[in-house]
Structure 1
Amino acid sequence: MKTYTYRHPEAIEHTGEVPVMDEQGQVILYSQRVYENYLKRTFDKMFDFRYFLKYEVLDSQREMLFTVKKISRRGKLWFEAVEVASKKKYIISYENWRIGLPTLFITDRKLKIQLEKEFEDWSNFLLDEVEIAKWKAEFSEELGEFHMTLQIHENSPIQQPEFFVGICQATLFVGA
């Protein structure tokens, strides 16, 4: 099992780079909330920074690896994610997102991964009801930030941490 850690400020509007470290403490990725333009950021501020949600995950040389953006149309909510190198697209959709903790489904039309999102404990990524990865966001009031831990199991068909980091960052604020 591979383990990755990072810290993210509590502020949903934070757009600075967030370094993601491997088990040796080496920065391997950066996660960052982005806006396509100033107008979108200004408009988003009116909606408490919850409407235009887009994250990019960059490698250590700051080359884009993965993007995730929130889509909200006609009362429906989902995310679109893209693995940049392969242009592989994933759709992340919610079941019961308006009541309690939502269950997310991540699909590329071949794989269908389920994310059982938890706020106080591990959120589990399941493929055919078998855990392939898990992620935890623990909030430190003292520091005003989330301490994130991602663990990817060896049985996971997806071993790229940018996939999980991008999806987790975007969904962290969904109930928000």
Structure 2
Amino acid sequence: MHTFQYTHPKQIDFTDDIPIKNNAGEIVAISKRIYDNPLKKTMDRLFDYRYFLKYHIYNPSGDLLFTVKKISRKGRLWYEGHDTTNNKQYIISYENWRLGVPELYITDGNKKIQLNKEMEDWSQFIFDNEVIAQWKADFVNDQFQMTFTIDEKSPIQNVAVFIGICQAALFVGA
């Protein structure tokens, strides 16, 4: 099991670098909320910072590893992610959203991972009925302490992919 930790201020509109550290305390990635232009940032303020949602995840050298953005069209909501390392596209979307309790899924077209979203406990990523990763946010001293783990059996081992999805879908959410 690989464990990663990071701290995020309680403000979801925070746009500075957020270092992601492994168990040894080494920075393995950097998360950053992105606005394409000042108008989008201003408009996002009107929508409670939940409409123009985009995160970039970089390696410590500054190379882009993963990007994720929220898409909302015709009453539907989903996220699009791009893993620049493997040149893979991911769609993160809600299924059964008209039935009351939507289920969140991540797919690259071949694999489908279910994300069980929890507000005060571990949110789990499920693949083939096994927990392959999990994420948790604890509010401590006026900021969020995030912990994320990836199992060795996970078909995705790139922490940047998971952190981008966690920041967009779990931390900010719908």
* TM exceeding 0.5: yes
- Residues 102-127 of structure 1 show CA distances to partners (whole Å, capped at 9, x for unaligned) of 53100011000000010111111000
Residue equivalent to 1:155: 153
Give 1:42-81 correspondences, 5 Å limit.
Answer: 42-81=42-81
Match of 1:144 among 142, 146, 153: 142
Q: Distance in 2 between matches of 1:74 and 1:170?
A: 20
Q: Secondary structure at the match of 1:68?
A: strand
Q: Distance in 1 between matches of 2:9 and 2:98?
A: 25
Q: Which runs of 5+ in 2 are unaligned?
A: none
Alignment root-mean-square deviation, CA: 1.6
Q: Distance in 1 between matches of 2:95 and 2:172?
A: 16
Residue equivalent to 2:172: 173
Task: Give the partner amino acid of 2:173.
Answer: V
Task: Give the partner amino acid of 1:151.
Answer: T
Task: Give the partner amino acid of 1:18.
Answer: I
**Which deviates the most, 76-85 or 93-102?**
93-102
Q: Judge conservation of contact 1:102–1:116 (CA < 8 Å) in 2.
A: no
- Give the TM-score, by structure 2 length: 0.94
Q: 1:38 to 1:135 in 2, by over 3 A?
A: same
Q: Secondary structure at the match of 2:113?
A: strand
Q: Secondary structure at the match of 2:72?
A: strand
- The number of equivalent residue pairs is 173
Task: Give the partner amino acid of 1:29.
Answer: A
Q: 1:98 to 1:15 in 2, by over 3 A?
A: farther
Q: CA deviation at 1:90?
A: 0.4
Q: Distance in 1 between matches of 2:40 and 2:15?
A: 13
Q: Judge conservation of contact 1:101–1:118 (CA < 8 Å) in 2.
A: no
Q: CA deviation at 1:50?
A: 1.0
- The alignment-based identity, stated in percent, is 50
Q: 1:87 to 1:158 in 2, by over 3 A?
A: same
- Give the TM-score, by structure 1 length: 0.93
Q: Distance in 1 between matches of 2:101 and 2:11?
A: 21
